[in-house]
Structure 1
Amino acid sequence: MKLRGKIRSRKVMVLIDCGATHKFISLEVVRKIGLPTTATKNYDVVMGTSESVTGKGMCKGVVLELQGLTIIEDFLPLDLGSTNVVLGMKWLGTSRSIEVNWKLLTMKFQLGDGWMTLKVDKGLNKSRISLKAMMKTLQNEDSQGTLRIPCNAIRPHQCPNNISVIDELGIQKLFEEVQFGFL
């Protein structure tokens, strides 16, 4: 589940992942925000891609704001790609009970004597494409040199039928119109 959150008033993308064992924070966020890191021994983490990554250090007492919930936790800094924060089983296991509604994309969990509901940010669940993958698609014989992009990815222009077809010569204009980057 992907949600928007804040650390020190800075927007971050948070992934709640029951497949992750611990709580992680991206090295990029640690650097940009200037979070202090406590020295630790090196640790190895197997990522979802099956790649093993070595990390070191711990960011203690990080305050993460998430949809009205304040979470104060220790995080292991790692290169997380486009994800800023991962809340894994170490965090999920602190709740006595969790209910996930995959249709509504919500997670309800016990918080003290009450319940808290977090809702997925649907805008964060869109796949990003790298320039390399986009160029490979354009060069594919079946694509005939065109790239189909959902209209909601292009601003401020509107497209008929919610689809825009852009030839290779128009690709530069596309890059000027599409908003790329992280939160």
Structure 2
Amino acid sequence: MLKPTILKLLNEQIALEDYSANLYLAMSSWCGHQKLSGSARFLEAHSDDEHSHMRKLFTYVNETGAMARIGALDEPPYEFGSINDVFEKTFEHEKFITAKINALVDACLEEKDYSTFNFLQWYVAEQHEEEHLFRSILDMIEIIGLDGRGLFLVDKEIGKMSNKV
């Protein structure tokens, strides 16, 4: 059975992963509205990926004999200034999620919950990949730029990444 501290943190992480899925879906909608179909497709796929992260946590909690809870979710933002703004906010959000996962891992060590610690190693590695992915998108935007055909090229390249999510 999970200790109350760990269960509380896992349920909070479930809600955060669910929020992430909604955030990326809202960003996908904004991109679609801006005629950025590659970015919309990428962010929709990323939303599905975040939802699967939530389900993985949900299943783990239930398999321990505890009860996973779905908390109330805040409405994600749905207005953005540019495609760069979308991916800046995405990168910042992923760094926030990394900090939350790291705090959860720390709590597992403090509570000597090595089973949950082991389970969370996948998330630690996943967050490294997520931060790298979004940093590379921001780097691409900086290198290519968004003037003239740059926006078209950036969107096209981001769309190609939807197969890698």
Q: Higher helix fraction: Structure 1 or Structure 2?
A: 2
Q: Normalised by the size of structure 1, how large is the TM-score?
A: 0.28
TM-score (structure 2 length as normaliser)? 0.30
Higher Rg of the two aligned structures: 1
Counting strand residues as a fraction of each chain, which structure ranks higher? 1
The structure, 1 or 2, with the larger RCO (C-alpha pairs under 8 Å, 6+ apart) is: 2
